[in-house]
Amino acid sequence: MEDDIRKYLPEMPDYGTPITIANLVYHTSGIRSTDDLQFAGFGPQDITTLPICLNFAFAQKQLLFNPGARYNYSNTNYNLLVEIVSRVTGTPFSEWCKENIFRPYGMNNTWFKTDIGQVAEHGVHCYSGTKDGFVELQNNWAATGASGLQTSIDDLEKWLIGIESRQHMNDRIYKLLNTTTTLKDGSPNKYVFGNEVVKNDNKNEVAHLGLVLGFRTAILRYPDQKLSIVYLSNDGNDATYQRAWKIRDIFLGTNTENLPDLNKMPTVEGALKQIENAKKYRETVDVNPYVGTYFSEELSTVWTLKNEDGQLVIHHPRIHPIKLKSSSKDQFSFLQFVRDDSDDVIGLKILGGGIVFDKK
């Protein structure tokens, strides 16, 4: 757990401070999530494979924070863990899981999708609701680790019963899967091996929520009450999560309302006003110094920033034009521009994410 991941993944940059396997497991690595591929034009239905995610990780020039300093959920951590298991065992991760996890637990309808062309027998598709009904979403995800697990509710039942009865695991492994850790400053980190371990209504809860395209997953465990809840849906409705907790309430006598404050909900009038204000917006600074072509080596992508009626706009072949608004010196919306000693703009970085673009 405390090995430097570069022992197994020498392609990862040396950031000066080692990233351990434990940092990946507990999401304290500081490595950015593959969600940031959106800045390179990747959409939810685009082909996304493990090699794409690994290359994204290997190209990262800096971390969000020093390893162990913070918790930040990152799908990339799981992609890297998958690759480590494959290299250490000499067996593809999907095959290793089949032989060492799925088969011993009798999970005969569970496997990892490693190629977008794989067909799932009796598999379901996912959808998104529109004003005219549902439309099917194309599942082109094969990024093993953070996603790609094909399973059934019957197999998940076997998995959960196996965990609670401690089948095929000793006490040390069971404890490892359920024990929280601390960050470098001593504050608790509630994330443990793919689950959040928390107190909910004074009851020990082990839970994780999943989302990709129109699929939604909620798996809740209450070890002291010997209760597990699995809620799966494929209609793109986030109500899945709240429904899972309401089912818990029925069994445990708890009361999870969490009703939204209607006074804080968006209104039609407010939305129309925002649209009108956007149309009336006029930039107060000269955007011409920021106009140009910018390249990110990390994302292998190019942005073109243009002056359109005095407003700075991002253009990319696969991204809808993004209109930017100045908020402070050299800062527009989610971008911070960088200048050299001659006060010329030489690049930009995405705030919060640290991704750097050089001006060409």
Same domain, 288 and 182: no
Q: Which one of 136, 161, 193 terminates a domain?
A: 193
Mean pLDDT over residues 93-114, rounded? 93
Asked whether residue 16 is domain-assigned, the answer is yes
Asked whether residue 87 is domain-assigned, the answer is yes
pLDDT at 148: 87
Q: Which one of 177, 193, 209 terminates a domain?
A: 193
Domain total of the chain? 2
Residue burial 204-242, b: 16+ Cβ < 10 Å; e: rest: ebbbeebebbbbbbbbbbbbeeebbbbbbbbebeeebbb
Does the structure show a pLDDT above 70 at 271?
yes
Q: In this predicted model, what pLDDT tens digit does every residue of 166-206 receive, in sequence order?
A: 888 888 888 888 888 999 999 999 999 989 988 888 889 99
User: How many angstroms separate the CA atoms of 211 and 167, rounded?
Assistant: 28
CATH of the domain at 325: 2.40.128.50
Q: Which domain holds residue 76?
A: 5-193
Asked whether residue 226 is domain-assigned, the answer is no
pLDDT at 261: 61
Q: Which one of 156, 173, 193 terminates a domain?
A: 193
The number of angstroms, rounded, from the C-alpha of 71 to the middle of its chain's C-alpha atoms is: 13
CATH of the domain at 139: 3.40.710.10
Mean pLDDT over residues 273-302, rounded? 87
pLDDT band at 141 (very low <50, low <70, confident <90, very high): confident
Asked whether residue 201 is domain-assigned, the answer is no
pTM: 0.88
> Phi and psi dihedrals of 238, rounded to 5?
-70, -5
Query: What is the identity of the amino acid at 143?
Result: A
pLDDT band at 292 (very low <50, low <70, confident <90, very high): very high
Same domain, 37 and 184: yes
pLDDT at 123: 86
- Mean pLDDT score of the chain, rounded to an integer? 90
3-state secondary structure of 31: coil
Does the structure show a pLDDT above 70 at 259?
no
Same domain, 287 and 189: no
